[in-house]
């Protein structure tokens, strides 16, 4: 509005000067014409003095009428000029109002204290108001907590125009971000200065910038390598994780081909993958082998995605690479362990079958034969009672001896299957029993057994696992070190668990892993290790050629079930 008024005033001044000049020229011309005409007329009528006087009076009256007519005509022209100027001003104001109302950004005027006096519809809608009148009637800039006193800054020696970002609170309470361009307007003539501002809503732009920044932070701080490749197969971006994984800096990798990351024997694979992605397809978690800067290889999982432009044309490749070297190694070890476990299970089944065969043979060859002999001798004793009591007494003594042997054999088989002493007296008594049995089986070997700590009943699983491991260790001594001179067995009740160790001075052996033990058929030690692992414990074996062997088992305590203590 200010610029329109200044323009109109300028036009009015120019027209006034033109009109004043035109009036002066008309006055001069008319005055000259009247003087000339009146002089000639007086010259023609000098004979009649009375008529001359009348003509002089008529000369003055005519001059007045001519002057009035000229002033009327000039006034009429002036009114026409004012009407044209007013029309032009109205047209200019209408155009300004249209621009004001239809501008794509918010426009406002405010007083020095922040009171909005004028606002366009865009600014009202921007803040959630239906009309500018509603906004100006209910809203003051002071409500928004202006970060600085703009008016004070601009009325001092500061700039007359400022641009800054700020937040506005809408009618519904939500906040929007805006870019404000404000200028100080001082119309003078006693009118107070005010502010005119242009407001652009940048909330969506700020949100987009924030999302872009978040995405950039995700790429920057990701533990996976993230890079992009152009259609010309050249690197265009490279995050810090890629530097850590591959060893190349962004400066070293820029402009190079992705082929440097692939193993030489997998270059055809790279070409095939890139061709697939450039055709618009994605590749998810593809496992392959890459090469670091130092030449070492690593197993990676690739996720390739095409990059599209606004026309849906592929412009490059976005790659996410995860280093799965440790995972691949773990998987390989796991597969080896699974193979070993399968072999162990197969050997265990064979061992169980062998144990069943052994029990069957013992029952058939020993117990069953003894029962047959017992029956025959009982029949002979019955005959001898009728013929000779001395012979009958000898037969009965043989029957008694045979029955005792059968009891011993059956007790040994029963203890092998399920030791009753363990159930009745606990692990300490059971280990002592195993030591005594080993001493009887190896009469030339000194077997010592020591119990340390407070003897107590443990969880049945802990007791049976400890018993079986100690039993297997003693069986190994009996089978693989029959010439050992001494064997020491020690059982310790610690604060957090139980520990048992079996030491012999036999020939020893070369240490092997559990997998190697299983592959070579040494199921005893492998079984001991697996039993301990099932309860969260461990078995340590120390041995060497001609250095003897020490087997130590450690198991954590498990709460004893109610009623298990005796």
Residue 440's domain is classified under what CATH number? 3.30.565.10
- In this structure, how many other beta carbons lie within 10 angstroms of the beta carbon of residue 477? 25
pTM score, whole prediction: 0.44
Element (H, E) at 178: strand 175-185
Q: Are 139 and 235 in the same domain?
A: no
For residues 71 and 153, membership in a common domain is answered with: no
| Rounded Cα–Cα distance for residues 258 and 235 (Å) | 7
- Residue 164 pLDDT: 85
Question: What's the number of domains the chain is made of?
Answer: 4
Report the candidate in 58, 73, 64 with the shortest Cα–Cα distance to residue 26: 73
CB half-sphere exposure, 493, CA atoms < 13 A: 14
User: Do 438 and 531 belong together in one domain?
Assistant: yes
> Residues with Cβ < 8 Å from 103, sequence gap 6 or more?
120, 122
Which among 382, 437, 378 is positioned nearest to 402, based on CA atoms?
Answer: 378
Question: In angstroms, rounded to a whole number, what is the distance separating the alpha carbons of residues 376 and 372?
Answer: 6
| 411, part of any domain | no
Q: How would DSSP label each residue in 436-450?
A: HHHHHH-TTSEEEEE
Does residue 239 share a domain with residue 179? no
Spatial contact of 55 and 45, defined as CB atoms under 8 Å apart: yes
User: Helix 523-534 crosses helix 460-480 at what angle (to 10 degrees)?
Assistant: 160
30 and 96 in a single domain? The answer is yes
Residue 331 forms part of a structural domain:
no
CA dist., res. 543 & res. 520, Å (int): 17
Residue pLDDT, tens place only, 267-296: 888 889 999 999 999 999 999 999 999 999
pLDDT of residue 154: 63
For position 227, which CATH number holds? 3.30.450.20
In this prediction, residue 296 carries a pLDDT of: 92
Q: Tell me whether residue 366 is in a domain.
A: no
The pLDDT value recorded for residue 338 is 76
Q: What is the pLDDT of residue 15?
A: 55
User: Residue 553: what pLDDT?
Assistant: 93
Task: Spell 534-555 as b/e; 16+ CB within 10 A means b.
Answer: ebebebebebeeeebbbbbbbb
Same domain, 113 and 83: no
Tokens of 2: 């200010």
Judge if 114 and 96 occupy the same domain.
no
In-domain check, residue 266 = yes
Q: Which of 49, 78, 100 delimits the end of a domain?
A: 100
- Residue 436 included in any domain: yes
pLDDT for position 139 = 65
Strand ordering across the sheet containing 283-291: 235-238, 225-230, 314-323, 297-308, 283-291
Is residue 377 a part of any domain in this protein?
A: no
**Is the same domain home to 311 and 292?**
yes
Does one domain contain both 122 and 53?
A: no
| Rounded Cα distance, 315 and 224, in Å | 23
Q: Are residues 434 and 539 in the same domain?
A: yes
**Within this chain, do residues 253 and 119 fall inside the same structural domain, yes or no?**
no
pLDDT for the residue numbered 150? 62
What stretches in the chain show pLDDT beneath 70? Answer: 1-72, 74, 96, 139-159, 188-189, 344-372, 375-377, 379-382, 384-386, 392, 411-412, 414-418, 514-523, 559-566
With respect to residue 384, please indicate whether it lies within any of the assigned structural domains.
no
- Domain encompassing residue 280: 223-323
CB count within 10 Å of CB 472 equals: 20
Choose the final residue of a domain: 100, 125, 159: 100
Please check whether residues 96 and 109 belong to one and the same domain.
Answer: no
Choose one of 145, 173, 207: the last residue of a domain.
207
Rounded Cα distance, 359 and 351, in Å: 12
DSSP letters along 276-335, please? HHHTT--EEEEEEEEE-TTS-EEEEEEEEEEEE-TTS-EEEEEEEEEE-HHHHHHHHHHH
User: DSSP alpha helices (H): ranges in 103-148?
Assistant: 121-126, 132-138
Asked if residue 385 belongs to a domain, the reply is no
pLDDT of residue 22: 60
């Amino acid at each position: 509005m200010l610029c329109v008024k200044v323009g109109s005033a300028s036009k009015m001044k120019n027209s006034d000067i033109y009109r004043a000049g035109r009036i002066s020229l008309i006055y001069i011309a008319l005055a000259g014409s009247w003087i000339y005409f009146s002089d000639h007329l007086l010259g023609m009528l000098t004979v009649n003095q009375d008529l001359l006087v009348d003509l002089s009076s008529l000369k003055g009256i005519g001059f007045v009428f001519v002057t009035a007519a000229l002033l009327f005509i000039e006034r009429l022209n002036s009114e026409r000029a004012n009407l044209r100027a007013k029309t032009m001003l109205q047209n200019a104001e209408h155009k300004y109002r249209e621009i004001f109302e239809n501008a794509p950004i918010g426009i406002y005027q405010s007083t020095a204290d922040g009171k909005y006096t004028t606002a366009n519809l865009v600014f009202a809608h921007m803040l959630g108001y239906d009309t500018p009148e509603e906004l100006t009637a209910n809203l003051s800039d002071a409500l928004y907590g202006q970060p600085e006193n703009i008016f004070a800054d601009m009325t001092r020696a500061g700039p007359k125009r400022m641009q800054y970002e700020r937040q506005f609170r809408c009618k519904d309470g939500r906040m929007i971000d805006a870019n404000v361009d404000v200028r100080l307007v001082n119309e003078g003539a006693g009118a107070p200065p005010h502010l005119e501002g242009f407001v652009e809503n940048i909330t969506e732009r700020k949100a987009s910038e924030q999302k872009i920044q978040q995405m950039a932070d995700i790429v920057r701080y990701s533990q996976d390598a993230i890079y992009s490749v152009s259609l010309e197969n050249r690197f265009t971006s490279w995050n810090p994780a890629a530097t850590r994984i591959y060893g190349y800096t962004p400066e070293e990798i820029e402009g190079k081909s992705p082929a440097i990351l692939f193993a030489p024997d997998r270059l055809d694979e790279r070409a095939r993958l890139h061709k697939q992605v450039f055709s618009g397809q994605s590749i998810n978690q593809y496992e392959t082998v890459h090469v670091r800067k130092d030449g070492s290889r690593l197993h990676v999982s690739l996720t390739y995605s095409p990059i599209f432009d606004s026309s849906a044309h592929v412009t490059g490749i976005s790659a996410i690479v995860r280093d799965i070297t440790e995972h691949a190694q773990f998987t390989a070890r796991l597969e080896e362990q699974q193979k070993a476990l399968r072999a162990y299970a197969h050997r265990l089944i064979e061992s169980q079958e062998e144990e069943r065969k052994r029990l069957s043979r013992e029952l058939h060859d020993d117990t069953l034969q003894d029962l047959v002999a017992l029956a025959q001798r009982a029949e002979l004793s019955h005959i001898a009672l009728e013929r000779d009591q001395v012979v009958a007494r000898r037969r009965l003594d043989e029957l008694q001896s045979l029955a005792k042997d059968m009891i011993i054999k059956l007790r040994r088989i029963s203890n092998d299957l399920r030791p009753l002493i363990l159930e009745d007296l606990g692990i300490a008594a059971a280990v002592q029993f195993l030591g005594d049995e080993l001493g009887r089986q190896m009469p030339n070997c000194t077997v010592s057994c020591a119990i340390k700590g407070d003897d107590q009943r443990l969880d049945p699983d802990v007791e049976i696992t400890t018993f079986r491991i100690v039993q297997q260790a003693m069986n190994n001594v009996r089978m693989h070190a029959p010439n050992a001179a001494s064997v020491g067995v020690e059982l310790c009740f610690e604060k957090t668990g139980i520990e048992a160790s079996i030491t012999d001075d036999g020939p020893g052996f070369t240490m092997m892993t559990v997998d190697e033990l299983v592959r070579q058929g040494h199921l005893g030690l492998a079984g001991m290790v697996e039993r301990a692992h099932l309860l969260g414990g461990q078995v340590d074996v120390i041995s060497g050629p001609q250095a003897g062997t020490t087997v130590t088992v450690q198991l954590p305590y498990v709460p004893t079930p109610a009623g298990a203590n005796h």
